[in-house]
Amino acid sequence: MEDTNHKQSKFQRVLDFIERFGNKLPHPFLIFVYLAAIIIIISAIVASFDISVTHPGTGEEVVAKSLLSGEGLLFALETMLENFTGFAPLGLVLTMMLGIGVAQGVGLFDTAIKLTIEKAPRAVITYAIAFVAVMGNIASDAAAVIVPPLAAMVFYSLGRHPVAGIAAGFAGAVGGFTANLLIAGTDALLAGITTEAARAIDQDMLITPIDNYFFMATSVFLIVLLVGLVTEKVIEPRLGKYDPKYAEEGILAQKQEKVGRIEIKALRNSMIAALVYIGVILALIWPETSVLRGEGGVLVPSPFLSNIVPIIFVFFIVVSVTYGISAKTIKKSGDIPVFMASAVKDMAPYIVLVFAIAQFIAYFNWTNLSTIIAVNSADYLQSVNFVGLPLIIIFILVMGMLNQFITSGSAQWALMAPVFVPMFMLLDFHPAFTQLAYRIGDSSTALLTPLNPYLIMVLGFMKRYDKRSGLGSIISTMIPYTIALMVGWILLMIVWFLLDLPIGPGINIRLDG
């Protein structure tokens, strides 16, 4: 017993350290401001030694350039606005969020989530909850707020432990945040950052939001299976029989609101609109002479794939407006831009952060530090023969560890991508595959960090059903999910790697694939 207590207290001290250290970190915006300042100083030092490398693609000599020079000062001043407005993720994400914001504003996502759980057979309810939690990330963080309390009510109504329902909903929404059967804002955001980083090696490189689609769509089913199994085989047996005496007064009397007929009809109409829209798109790309096809009538690559974000944007507008008019949540045409404005307002912190990220990446690339670091690192890894699967697995684990301190997925990738994307490109890995590996490490460990604001929110949900719950309770409950997701996802990646399967339309693991 003493040994167990010792281990628990040691683990708690680790969590306390993570929380204290993370809380002392400045705002992500300031982190990138400081990093930009550091790049300015380092560039001057490296340039003073005339350090250079041979560009592996062009064969040209790449020399370190100093930002503390006349040329550097002019670059910083003349490109500041262009760095911001031309930053690839900005337009992609804002466009996606305009469409998704309308869907969220009219109530489409809420109805879909509630109806799926409401209609799911009792035998598969755990997996249904996990599925809607994973798919709910199309509405950004909404699933982490909606699904856990809804799952608790459903579990309790079935005579099961409500905290297990909360755990399943949270694990699916946060642990599976990066996976979806639809193209989400996360795909656009990460693809833009990866593109900016990859252009340090190849100026023509373009990563699209669908470049990880095959792998991430498959991951949805893996995550649902793992979350369901862990909930039923590990979490519920550990929690035991639920004792209602520890519940907050009135919480057990709450009932799940049934989806009304008008909402069901609206959802049906929106699905019909979705099918019609998809039919129109298929009709447009079917002819080999279609303007949406590439040279020779191919689909990969093609204008259809390179312009997928506008196509998805229109899709969300069509289904959302259909739902809103049918459900009477859109009463006049002016309601549509109001919903869009609300979505953009929610994106304001991201827009501010992008300004600093864009300058940092632009400085890093202009000074040629990214290329120099990438070439030297790749040469060293090849010299010690540390390449291939072992390197990718270590990379995933390192990203998972860093996720405990920098919880913003976009901020962490903006920090890591300029170093690792070029380096892995020189090792013949496609930038989209490096991005995929990052997504595994980031998403599977997001359940554990005390800095995740949704962790504290979900702890509040747990306390309503069991007032004895504390931070240790939710962390210990999430550990089995994190282990299962990390191990399962890495195994899936290994299978994908060994079979050399495409990770997205026309996108292979290797650059020469």
Span of 138-142, 183-187, 349-353, 372-376 with lowest mean pLDDT: 138-142
The predicted pLDDT at position 306 comes to: 83
Torsion of Cα atoms, 130 then 133 then 138 then 141, to 10°: -150
Reported as a pLDDT band with limits 50, 70 and 90, residue 147 is confident
Compute the mean pLDDT over every residue in the chain, rounded to the nearest whole number.
87
H/E element holding 455? helix 453-465
Q: Percent of the chain scored above 70 by pLDDT? A: 92
The predicted pLDDT at position 131 comes to: 95
pTM: 0.84
Reported as a pLDDT band with limits 50, 70 and 90, residue 513 is low
Local structure of 510: helix, strand or coil = strand
Local structure of 507: helix, strand or coil = strand
Span of 65-74, 89-98, 428-437 with lowest mean pLDDT: 89-98
Span of 33-37, 246-250, 413-417 with lowest mean pLDDT: 246-250
Nearest-angstrom CA–CA distance, 318 and 38: 47
> Where exactly are the structural domains of the chain?
25-44+63-499
The predicted pLDDT at position 319 comes to: 95
The predicted pLDDT at position 138 comes to: 79
Q: Is the C-alpha dihedral spanning 313, 314, 319, 323 positive or negative?
A: positive
Reported as a pLDDT band with limits 50, 70 and 90, residue 407 is low
The predicted pLDDT at position 405 comes to: 64
- Nearest CA to 115 out of 317, 320, 256, 309 is that of 256
Span of 227-231, 234-238, 253-257 with lowest mean pLDDT: 253-257
The predicted pLDDT at position 318 comes to: 96
The predicted pLDDT at position 382 comes to: 87
Reported as a pLDDT band with limits 50, 70 and 90, residue 1 is very low
pLDDT of residue 380 exceeding 60: yes
Which phi and psi (to 5°) does residue 62 adopt?
A: -105, 115
Which phi and psi (to 5°) does residue 309 adopt?
A: -65, -50
Q: Which residue has the higher pLDDT, 9 or 299?
A: 299
The predicted pLDDT at position 494 comes to: 97
The predicted pLDDT at position 409 comes to: 55
The predicted pLDDT at position 397 comes to: 92
The predicted pLDDT at position 262 comes to: 94
Arithmetic mean of pLDDT, 166-174: 93
The predicted pLDDT at position 423 comes to: 93
The predicted pLDDT at position 2 comes to: 39
Span of 103-112, 207-216, 465-474 with lowest mean pLDDT: 465-474
Local structure of 53: helix, strand or coil = strand
H/E element holding 431? helix 431-445
Burial call 245-265: b when 16+ CB within 10 Å, e when fewer: eebeeebbeeebeebeeebbe
Angle (CA) 471-472-473 rounded to 5° is 90
Amino acid identity of residue 237, one-letter, is P
The predicted pLDDT at position 5 comes to: 46
Arithmetic mean of pLDDT, 473-487: 90
The predicted pLDDT at position 451 comes to: 64
The predicted pLDDT at position 266 comes to: 95
pLDDT digits (tens, 9 = 90+) for 311-327: 989 999 999 999 999 99
DSSP codes joined into one string, 230-289: HIIIIIHHHH-S--GGGSPTTGGG--PPPPPHHHHHHHHHHHHHHHHHHHHHHHHHSSTT
Nearest-angstrom CA–CA distance, 220 and 299: 25
pLDDT of residue 230 exceeding 80: yes
The predicted pLDDT at position 501 comes to: 96
pLDDT digits (tens, 9 = 90+) for 12-68: 666 566 556 656 767 778 888 998 999 999 999 999 999 998 887 778 898 999 999
Reported as a pLDDT band with limits 50, 70 and 90, residue 400 is confident
Q: Which residue has the higher pLDDT, 343 or 337?
A: 337
The predicted pLDDT at position 76 comes to: 94
pLDDT digits (tens, 9 = 90+) for 416-458: 899 899 999 999 999 999 999 999 999 998 888 766 767 778 8
Amino acid identity of residue 383, one-letter, is S
Q: Which residue has the higher pLDDT, 226 or 302?
A: 226
Nearest-angstrom CA–CA distance, 209 and 411: 18
Nearest-angstrom CA–CA distance, 481 and 264: 33
pLDDT of residue 280 exceeding 70: yes
- Length of the chain counted residue by residue: 513
The predicted pLDDT at position 314 comes to: 94
Other residues' Cβ atoms within 10 Å of the Cβ of residue 98 = 20
Arithmetic mean of pLDDT, 487-498: 97
pLDDT of residue 367 exceeding 70: yes
Nearest-angstrom CA–CA distance, 233 and 164: 11
Q: How far is CA 365 from CA 200, 400, 411, 444, 508, in A?
A: 6, 25, 17, 30, 25
- Nearest CA to 414 out of 373, 455, 355, 368 is that of 355
Reported as a pLDDT band with limits 50, 70 and 90, residue 70 is very high
Strands (E), 25-101: 52-54, 61-63
Q: Which residue has the higher pLDDT, 408 or 158?
A: 158
Other residues' Cβ atoms within 10 Å of the Cβ of residue 432 = 26
The predicted pLDDT at position 110 comes to: 86
